[in-house]
Amino acid sequence: MTDPLALPDSNGPRAVFLCGKSWTAYTGTFFIAVLLFFAALPLAFKYNTRAALIVLAGSALIVGYRLLTIRSYQLYYDEAGVWLASGILPWKKKLTGVPWRDLGQASHETTFWSWLFRSYTVRISMRSTGQTVIHASGMARGKHAVDTIHIRLRELLDSRAVVV
| 4 three-state secondary structure | coil
The whole-number pLDDT of residue 107 equals 92
Q: 95 with 85: CB under 8 angstroms?
A: yes
Question: Is pLDDT of 29 > 60?
Answer: yes
Q: 118 with 21: CB under 8 angstroms?
A: no
The whole-number pLDDT of residue 30 equals 96
The whole-number pLDDT of residue 163 equals 67
Residue 146's region, left for phi above 0, alpha for psi from -120 to 50, else beta, is: alpha
The DSSP letter of residue 21 is: B
* H/E segment holding residue 76: strand 74-77
Say how far apart CA 10 and CA 119 lie, in whole Å.
32
Q: 127 with 104: CB under 8 angstroms?
A: yes
Question: Is pLDDT of 164 > 80?
Answer: no
Measured on CA atoms in the order 93, 94, 99, 103, is the torsion positive or negative? negative
The residue-averaged pLDDT of 145-163 equals 87
The whole-number pLDDT of residue 13 equals 61
Least confidently predicted of 6-15, 20-29, 31-40: 6-15
The residue among 108, 135, 128, 132 whose CA lies nearest residue 120 is 108
Express each pLDDT in 89-107 by its tens digit: 999 999 999 999 889 889 9
Question: Is pLDDT of 116 > 60?
Answer: yes
The residue among 85, 108, 109 whose CA lies nearest residue 97 is 85
**Share above pLDDT 90 across residues of the chain, in percent, rounded to a whole number:** 66
